[in-house]
Structure 1
Amino acid sequence: MEKINNETAFFYKEIKPLTDKTNGPILVRKMDTKEFFVKKCYPLYLEEHLAALRNIKQAHLPKIQELVVQDGKLWLYEEFIQGKTLTEVIQSSGILETEQILTIAMSVLEALGALHKKGLVHRDVKPGNIMMTNEGTVKLIDFDAVRAVDGEKESDTVQLGTMGFASPEQFGFAESDERSDLYSLGIVMNICSVKEYPKKRLTEDRVLRGIIRKATKLEPGERYQTALEMHLALRQQKSKQIAAIKQAKAHAANLEKRPIRTYADTRPITTIWDTNKYVRQFVILGSRLIEVVVSFFRKYVPGFRTETLWKRAAALVWYSIFFVGITANIVDQPTESLKIREFVDYLLIFGLPVVLFTNFLDYQRKLPLLSSENKIYRSIGYGLLFLFWLLITKGGLELNSFIYRRFN
């Protein structure tokens, strides 16, 4: 790594600060070549990591011109990128198109793959650290949180990252590695799609939903394991989408080229047209209703919210047994009052636990303990939830019995 003295500092002329932050990035110009660069101050403990980063040549990473230790400070001179951050793009453009989200994510994965090959983890992948250049190139910037993967530590020595985008292990649960960056990228993709974090509202986009869900699993072992694996998944989805668009365009072109057909029908043409119109409206209405029902099940109903086939099958079996059981018990009762009593008892004993412990309607994210990423806090939350179920069930059964005796 190159270290310069005070005289070499005159090779660059400071133009202006790029932010209002103390020790924030400064726009500078190299005196001999007249090129513009960004000068940034980094902690000295990052010297080795940034030296390794300087040797990485990747189109989606900024080029590092020089790395300098001067007057006890570490300075990095990197490529000046003209464009907007992804945060600014989202704010000005709104929700991005699926194909654009895939393209951005694949570019970031290529940058991350280059870092990961050198044993480095970015640890702060977020819209504010993703630049869109004026030429349309995606650049992953800002290496304040970069670290090398050790593989034998129980947690990171220095816990850094942006709340909401940082993976659970970055807050002391385990050592962060390349899967931590993939978690953050999954969050970014969801923000691009619906402007919400996945735990608050997961995108309904069929192309993105499964990828984001897998990338943002709490357990690192359940996520994509490498940037290449996630990149391949995105590329497959993008290829399918492009093929579908081409097929739709080809189909539309064929329809335009078709000759006008004549029909030997005695009914007026307007009658035929109106009949077809009503049929089309009925089909469209039916398909939309099905989409609403499927969307509701996939978003709220436990067992169907997952992309795992066996979990959906198990949920279907359980719900079938539940409804068949409750129906059979009610039918066997001799009187209407007994049927009502049996129905309420059955819901309290068997129905309420399903609602409470499988997070029906995603209510748990609104409760402090149950929505915590700390396993101890979540365990306490589930313990309190179990006590709540016992009290509600006991009280409900006694109240139901009292009402039955009172009016029968």
Structure 2
Amino acid sequence: MNLEIQSRLSFYRRLEEVEHKKGISLVRHIETGQIYVEKVLTQYDKSIYDWLQQSKLPYVPQIYECMEEDGTLYLIEEYIQGITLETYIEQFGCLDLDAAGRVIEYLCRTLEKLHRHIPPIVHRDIKPTNIMLQGDFKKGHGIVSVYLIDFNTARVFDAERNRDTELIGTRGFAAPEQYGFSQSDARTDIYGLGVLLNYMLCGKLIRDGIYADHQEVSQIIRKATQIDPEKRYQTAEEMLDAMQQSMILDEATDKVSLNDKSRPAWTRFLPPGFREGKILNMVVAAIYYIFWMYFCLTVEVKDHGEPLSGTWLYVNRFVYFMMFIITPFFWNNYLDVWNYFPLVRSPKKIWKLVGLFLYTVAWFFLVMFVFVIVEDIFR
């Protein structure tokens, strides 16, 4: 261990070892007295922890130190004071529909953020011991917060692979593709959510029986745990919508409070600046759109020194509109368009910026090229 890592870790005094095999310990900061979790990992994807440290997602443990040396990652992360879902079930038994629905809602909203990362981040180990609960616990009630922990087996989706190279997951909760049949993606976590929902409601894995006391919930579990990923819910948002439509989240939805709680599904179709409902963003976006619309409707265009009029004037104005209005849509990843463009899918910011610039320039040239072709044909 180099001197820098030793120096940064020296501010934390070890209290007790939590899991020897995983290299997890509770530590206390010697100056503030704050308790943290220290992890020493040999299996990891550092880019995921770097992103988690920067993004500060709600209901995911915050990362405070992330240091790497010789194939080992040293982490200091937030200590979540609570109990695991596994412990909750052991103490209080299976959850009722309301409590189970709330747990799934928290997890769906967290997974939405992970899966919308470019490229998507797949947790790959959704199970009761990786879910931390906080609250004043009573049977079926008292759950206030739900945290998704342990990203040791998480990976960044690689569109160029056709299967996982490492077979990782927890037996009973892992999706079929985690055993080498195909590549893990966002739908792998959907499978884990389906198994988890079934386990919370009846204490059984899918192979041992599916919850049968509520027909619509049973259908949700069956769809989420289909062997073929194409037949599952394709996103966490889609699964959450199905649960809301089945009415099991009526009461739960009002209680869940995420710092950046997702808005209704239809809002993703709103233009950039209006999708998150933030006043400042909407004002800036409105000014931008109004300015370009006004410019495109009023700009005078000349051909060989003579002002254009009629049809070709409006064609030129439309070309200007198409050249510039696309920029905020592409740069803000409208409808996840980045998934179709290699450079902007890169986790490295420099390549993402290069990609954004190159694709924008290419769009300008494409519009001009099409316009010139049309003009030659019809004029």
TM bracket (short chain): 0.5 to 0.7
Secondary structure, in 3 states, of the residue corresponding to 1:96? coil
Equivalent position SS for 1:161:
coil
Distance 1:132 1:106, change over 3 A: same
Deviations 1:187-246 (A, max 9, x none): 011011111122321111324211101100110000000111112222233467559xxx
Q: Does 1:147 align with 2:148?
A: no
Query: Secondary structure at the residue paired with 2:181?
Result: coil
- Decide which structure has the larger Cα Rg and report it: 1
Q: How does 1:295-334 map to 2 (within 5 A)?
A: none
Deviation at 1:6, TM superposition (A): 1.9
Q: Deviations over 1:149-189 (max 9, x none)?
A: 01221211222100100000000000000000010110011
Pick 1 or 2: higher relative contact order, CA cutoff 8 A, min separation 6. Answer: 2
State the match for 1:116 in structure 2: 115
Letter aligned with residue 170 of structure 1: Q
Q: 2-side partners of 1:96 and 1:132: how far apart?
A: 13
The percentage of aligned residue pairs carrying the same residue is 36
Q: 1:239 to 1:129 in 2, by over 3 A?
A: closer
Contact 2:97 2:248 (8 Å CA) reproduced? no
SS in 2 for 1:92: helix
Q: Which residue of 2 aligns with 1:224?
A: 233
Report the CA distance between 1:53 and its aligned residue.
2.3
Q: Which of the pair is proportionally richer in strand?
A: 2
Contact 2:39–2:75 under 8 Å retained in 1 = yes
Q: 1:240 to 1:146 in 2, by over 3 A?
A: closer
Deviation per residue, 1:259-312 (Å, 9 max, x gap): xxxxxxxxxxxxxxxxxxxxxxxxxxxxxxxxxxxxxxxxxxxxxxxxxxxxxx
The reply to whether residue 234 of structure 1 matches residue 233 of structure 2 is no
Distance (whole Å) between structure 2 residues aligned to residue 99 and residue 31 of structure 1: 42
Q: Which residue of 1 aligns with 2:218?
A: 209
Q: C-alpha deviations, 1:61-105, integer Å up to 9, x for none?
A: 111111112575211111101111111111111121011111001
Q: Which runs of 5+ in 2 are unaligned?
A: 137-143, 253-379
User: What secondary structure sits across from 1:124 in the alignment?
Assistant: coil
In structure 2, C-alpha distance between the alignment counterparts of 1:48 and 1:143, rounded to whole Å: 11
What residue number does 2:77 align with? Answer: 78
How do 1:228-377 residues align onto structure 2 when only pairs under 5 Å count?
228-238=237-247, 242=251
Task: Indicate the RMSD between aligned Cα atoms, in angstroms.
Answer: 2.0
Match of 2:193 among 170, 185, 201: 185
> Relative to 1, partners in 2 of residues 1:101 and 1:154: Cα closer, same or farther, differing over 3 Å?
same
CA distance in 2, matches of 1:133, 1:47: 28
For normalisation by structure 1, the TM-score amounts to 0.56
Q: Given the two structures, how large is their TM-score scaled by the length of structure 2? A: 0.60
Which AA in structure 2 matches 1:229?
Answer: E
Partner Cα distance (2:61, 2:148) in 1: 7
Residue 13 of structure 2: aligned partner:
13
In structure 2, the CA distance between the partners of 1:5 and 1:88, relative to structure 1 (3 Å rule), is closer
Decide whether aligned partners of structure 1 residues 112 and 100 sit closer, same or farther in structure 2, where only a CA change above 3 A counts. same
Does the C-alpha gap of structure 1 residues 199 and 5 become closer, same or farther in structure 2, counting only changes over 3 Å? Answer: closer
1:36 CA drift (Å):
1.0
TM superposition outliers: structure 1 runs of 4+ over 3 Å? 238-243
Distance (whole Å) between structure 1 residues aligned to residue 22 and residue 232 of structure 2: 36
Moved more, 87-96 or 232-241: 232-241
Counterpart of 1:8 in structure 2: which amino acid? R
**Are the counterparts in 1 of residues 44 and 73 from structure 2 also a CA contact under 8 Å?**
no
Gaps of 5+ in 1: 244-408
Give the Cα–Cα distance (whole angstroms) in 2 for the partners of residues 71 and 153 of structure 1: 26
**Equivalent position of 1:159 in the other structure:** 167
Kept after mapping to 1: 8 A contact 2:175/2:192 = yes
